[in-house]
């Protein structure tokens, strides 16, 4: 069974296809260091919490790291920074390895196909994207998967633009990076990344207001809208300033990259996804800045990844990248399958890599 894996700075998400639906397994890409004692270990074991132990130190991983950080008032640590494995965190790779193992599980068959999202080369930074990509692939390969990388922006195209024949612009605004891919008929024309995302916004607002970054993040996620009028000097006002600055910066780089190529004469729909697009009013601000940028291509519209997770009324764009990776894996799997013998009853309804099957989203947690 093919799978898709999104290895993000904030979340690691796996997408798998069951009988008529897509399910997601998710963990926060973070860990928390705690002192070990018998009571703590018993509590973690009873709660089936993912953790490691070395000497008298316990590292709690994933979503539970955030829960325990609030209980014990301690800072979490992040294995990734600016969209890649953090060179400043010595335990990055062991922590990511364990989270990937928890999210993916073991393959059901040998060399099960797995598409993994990777960042494109940044245009504004000398980040070592190759090392990150090869390391993440190696971790999944050791589990027994046959891996294939896919640019994060292209995975958004696969996820959201089937109705446009996979012609359009996929933009993923994550915590560590913003990834952009311009594709024509599922073929990338331009792919690049920006070393700025949600974390950059939080850091700039923290510097401007003097509040801790964690506090800024909390306000951004619970009490912020780009549609509202904000008091000058407020945290919300500063967030609006830096969201605007980020979108303007990304679109300026997109215009420059498009000017370096010769895009086909076609209409391009824009699909935006990623956790940092959750803010109310994001699409409206994006559309405004897009009109002002005057790109050298025709834009047919802007859509935000919005689909329900099973059992909830929430619509979350963070699942789009993993979903796109899965669709790419299913497409590849279908192309490798032996062709069935033709028969009068056969029809054109079998899976086509250019027309992905409709899916229902569920969340395994």
pLDDT at 307 over 80: no
Would residue 165 count as lying in a domain?
yes
Q: What percent of the chain has pLDDT over 90?
A: 65
Residue 35 shares a structural domain with residue 178? no
Asked whether residue 129 falls in the same domain as residue 251, the answer is yes
Q: What is the CATH number of the domain that holds 21?
A: 3.30.420.40
Q: How far apart are CA 118 and CA 49, in angstroms?
A: 28
Q: Tell me the per-residue pLDDT of 57-71, one tens digit each, with 9 for 90 and over.
A: 899 998 888 888 877
pLDDT in tens, 315-361: 688 999 999 999 999 999 998 877 665 554 443 333 344 444 434 33
Can you give the three-state secondary structure of 88-105, one letter per residue?
A: CCCCHHHHHHHHHHHHHC
Mean pLDDT computed over 203-230: 91
CA distance 46 to 48: 6
pLDDT at 199: 94
Average pLDDT over residues 286-313: 80
- Give residue 210's pLDDT: 95
| This prediction's pTM | 0.87
Domain count, the chain: 2
Q: Examine the pLDDT at 81 and tell me if it is beyond 50.
A: yes
What is the average pLDDT across 16-25? 86
CA–CA dist 152, 192 (Å, integer)? 10
Interval 168-196 mean pLDDT: 96
Q: Which domain holds residue 323?
A: 3-29+78-327
335 belongs to a structural domain: no
The mean per-residue pLDDT over the stretch 161-172 comes to 96
As a whole number, the mean pLDDT across the chain is: 87
Same domain for 11 and 114, yes or no, is yes
Do residues 71 and 92 share a domain?
no
Exposed / middle / buried, residue 75 (Cβ in 10 Å: 0-12, 13-18, 19+): exposed
What are the angstrom distances between the C-alpha of 12 and each of 41, 127, 174, 291, 364?
A: 25, 20, 12, 33, 13
Q: Is 154 in the same domain as 170? A: yes
Please tell me whether residues 159 and 278 are part of one structural domain. Answer: yes
* 46 and 188 inside one domain: no
Tell me the three state secondary structure of residue 349. Answer: coil
Residue 285 is assigned to a structural domain of this protein: yes
Same domain, 61 and 138: no
pLDDT at 26 over 80: yes
Residue (of 66, 67, 46, 50) closest to 58 by Cα position = 50
CA dist 287 and 277 (Å) reads 13
Q: State whether 258 and 188 are in the same domain.
A: yes
275 and 147 in a single domain? The answer is yes
Residues 184 and 45 in one domain: no
State the pLDDT confidence band at 217, using cuts at 50, 70 and 90: confident
Provide the pLDDT for residue 342: 58
Residue 55 lies in a domain: yes
Whether 41 and 106 share a structural domain? no
> Do residues 175 and 154 lie in contact, with contact meaning Cβ atoms separated by under 8 Å?
no
Contacting residues for 199 by C-beta, under 8 A, at least 6 apart: 9, 81, 82, 175, 176
Say how many CA atoms lie within 13 Å of 342 toward its Cβ. Answer: 1
């Amino acid at each position: 069974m093919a799978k898709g894996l999104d290895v993000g700075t904030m979340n690691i998400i796996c997408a798998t296809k069951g009988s008529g639906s897509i399910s997601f397994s998710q963990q926060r890409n973070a860990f928390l260091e705690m002192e070990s004692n018998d009571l703590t270990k018993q509590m973690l074991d009873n709660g089936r919490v993912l953790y490691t132990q070395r000497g008298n130190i316990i590292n709690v991983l994933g979503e539970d790291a955030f829960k325990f950080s609030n209980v014990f008032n301690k800072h979490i640590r992040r294995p990734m920074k600016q969209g890649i494995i953090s060179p400043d965190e010595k335990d990055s790779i062991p922590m990511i390895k364990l989270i990937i193992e928890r999210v993916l599980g073991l393959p059901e068959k040998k060399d099960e196909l797995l598409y993994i999202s990777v960042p494109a080369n940044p245009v504004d930074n000398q980040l070592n994207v190759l090392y990150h990509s090869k390391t993440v692939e190696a971790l999944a390969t050791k589990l027994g998967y046959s891996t294939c990388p896919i640019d994060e922006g292209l995975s958004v195209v696969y996820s959201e633009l089937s109705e446009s024949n996979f012609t359009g612009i996929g933009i993923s605004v994550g915590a560590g990076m913003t990834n952009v891919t311009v594709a024509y008929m599922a073929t990338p024309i331009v792919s690049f990344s920006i070393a700025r995302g949600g974390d950059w916004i939080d850091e700039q607002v923290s510097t401007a207001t003097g509040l801790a970054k964690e506090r800024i993040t909390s306000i951004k996620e619970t009490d912020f809208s780009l549609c509202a009028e904000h008091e000058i000097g407020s945290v919300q006002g500063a967030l609006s300033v830096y969201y605007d600055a980020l979108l303007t910066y990304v679109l300026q780089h997109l215009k420059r990259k498009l000017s370096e190529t010769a895009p086909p004469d076609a209409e391009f729909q824009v699909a935006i996804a990623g956790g940092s697009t959750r803010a109310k009013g994001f699409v409206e601000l994006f559309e405004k800045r897009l009109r002002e940028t005057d790109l050298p291509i025709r834009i047919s519209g802007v859509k935000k990844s919005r689909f329900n997770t099973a059992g909830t009324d929430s619509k979350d764009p963070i699942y789009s990248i993993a979903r796109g990776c899965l669709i790419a894996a299913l497409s590849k799997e279908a192309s490798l399958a032996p062709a069935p013998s033709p028969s009068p009853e056969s029809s054109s309804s079998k899976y086509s890599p250019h027309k992905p099957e409709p899916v229902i989203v569920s969340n395994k947690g």
